[in-house]
Structure 1
Amino acid sequence: MQAKKDSEDDVDLRVRRRLRELRAQRGLTLEDVARRARIDVSTLSRLESGKRRLALDHLPRLAEALSVSTDELLRVPEAPDPRIRGASHTHNDITYWPLTRQAPGGLHAFKIRISARRRKPPAELPVHEGQDWMYVLSGQVRLILGERDFVVKPGEAVEFSTWTPHWFGVVDGPAEAITIFGVHGERMHLHD
């Protein structure tokens, strides 16, 4: 008996997710879909939020309202491609390869290659909101934080507040690292 209830819950959850997903893909509001499906908007809202169980008579009307078959509404969605695909971007002698999807406001990881040409810090070290984190893979990275000067070697990691004037470059040849930036650090390092 419990297995049947779990199966019903799975279908209910799947349809709720598909309803929201399809509605969002089509740019439809709750009111649009409710009107097309000839159901009350509060009923649709409760169906999507899980506060009301899905009735079989809702399926054909909801599928029609979303211009899909009932099977499409019930199907298990395909898992998205897990690979991160992003072109490299070079700025100020550093090439960045994205390692995370670009979600607004979140942390983003990059593999970076710092060119051997990036040896001399600017006259004024930049400051911006946020935190930076870096793990050196190869080469040696020179990190200047305020008045302090560090050499970061392969296998070492650094984390620092970007409110501190900072800059990083190379010691004697190219270097590679993994770095994590918040939105402010990403804007500063990749675009300014």
Structure 2
Amino acid sequence: MSGDLDQVGPRLRAARRARGLTLEDMAARAGMSTSTLSRLESGKRQASLELLVPLTRQLGIRIDDLLQPEVRDPRVRRPVVRRDGLTIAPLAPEGAAIHTYKITYPPVDTLPELRVHDGYEWLYVLTGRLRLRLGEQDLVLTRGEAAEFDTHVPHAMSAAGRHPAQVLSIFNGEGVRMHTHLAQP
């Protein structure tokens, strides 16, 4: 929490400047000396509710806006999973609302067994050619093509031809379990 408090002054200064107010203007509006505001913004004066409440009212922000933690590291660092010849790279953090993966399908002689489960699936072919068996349809999607389908329809996928196919896939929770065999919280 002390790291959050260290950012109150700079965030206060940024909010004031974003509204085009000088130190003098803001201090006068909040009923404090320019020196006090300057010291508060520079971190030389400790923030207190007595000082922050009039400032946040004048700026039209909440005290919480000054205390929000820094943005977390946005990089996804989850291990790649290899199973049944597939390479499955998670592209979203654990527990994300949207389950996104880059899946590499190897070339195979026989299409995997058709599966059915609740939900929808969205996919986009990044490289190679993807064979998508969807009910009675037997389709080949190439780089740049996308598909969306109801997963109640029996379906299966593999690379088409002699080269792997890389696909960006988005699943609901049940789709993650069926296609990646990864447990979801």
Does TM-score exceed 0.5, indicating one fold?
yes
In the TM superposition, structure 1's runs of 4+ consecutive aligned residues that sit over 6 Å from their partners are none
- Give the residue type in structure 2 aligned to 1:96: I
Match of 1:84 in 2: 76
Number of residue pairs aligned between Structure 1 and Structure 2: 129
Structure 1 length normalisation: TM-score?
Answer: 0.61
Match of 1:183 in 2: 173
CA distance in 2, matches of 1:6, 1:92: 61
SS at match of 1:188: helix
Specify whether residues 129 and 119 from structure 1 end up closer, same or farther in structure 2 by C-alpha distance, changes over 3 A only: farther
Match of 2:85 in 1: 93
- Give the residue type in structure 2 aligned to 1:109: T
SS at match of 2:62: helix
| 2:123 aligned residue (123, 130, 134) | 134
| 2:151 aligned residue (133, 140, 162) | 162
CA distance in 2, matches of 1:159, 1:96: 19
- Give the residue type in structure 2 aligned to 1:113: T
Using the TM superposition, give the Cα deviation of residue 76 of structure 1 relative to its aligned residue in structure 2, in angstroms.
4.2
CA distance in 2, matches of 1:119, 1:6: 70
Specify whether residues 113 and 7 from structure 1 end up closer, same or farther in structure 2 by C-alpha distance, changes over 3 A only: same
Is residue 112 from structure 1 mapped to residue 103 from structure 2 by the alignment?
Answer: yes
The alignment-based identity, stated in percent, is 37
SS at match of 2:118: coil
- Give the residue type in structure 1 aligned to 2:135: G
Specify whether residues 6 and 155 from structure 1 end up closer, same or farther in structure 2 by C-alpha distance, changes over 3 A only: farther
Specify whether residues 7 and 142 from structure 1 end up closer, same or farther in structure 2 by C-alpha distance, changes over 3 A only: same
Greater C-alpha Rg: 2
Match of 2:132 in 1: 143
> Which blocks of at least 5 consecutive residues in structure 1 are unaligned?
15-73
Per-residue deviation, residues 116-146 of structure 1 (Å, max 9, x unmatched): 2x34124x51100011111001100000001
Match of 1:10 in 2: 62
CA distance in 2, matches of 1:171, 1:91: 19
CA RMSD across the alignment = 2.3
Structure 2 length normalisation: TM-score?
Answer: 0.63
Specify whether residues 8 and 171 from structure 1 end up closer, same or farther in structure 2 by C-alpha distance, changes over 3 A only: closer
Match of 1:29 in 2: none
CA distance in 2, matches of 1:6, 1:183: 45
Using the TM superposition, give the Cα deviation of residue 147 of structure 1 relative to its aligned residue in structure 2, in angstroms.
1.0
Using the TM superposition, give the Cα deviation of residue 79 of structure 1 relative to its aligned residue in structure 2, in angstroms.
1.4
Specify whether residues 145 and 76 from structure 1 end up closer, same or farther in structure 2 by C-alpha distance, changes over 3 A only: closer
Using the TM superposition, give the Cα deviation of residue 77 of structure 1 relative to its aligned residue in structure 2, in angstroms.
1.4
- Give the residue type in structure 1 aligned to 2:146: A
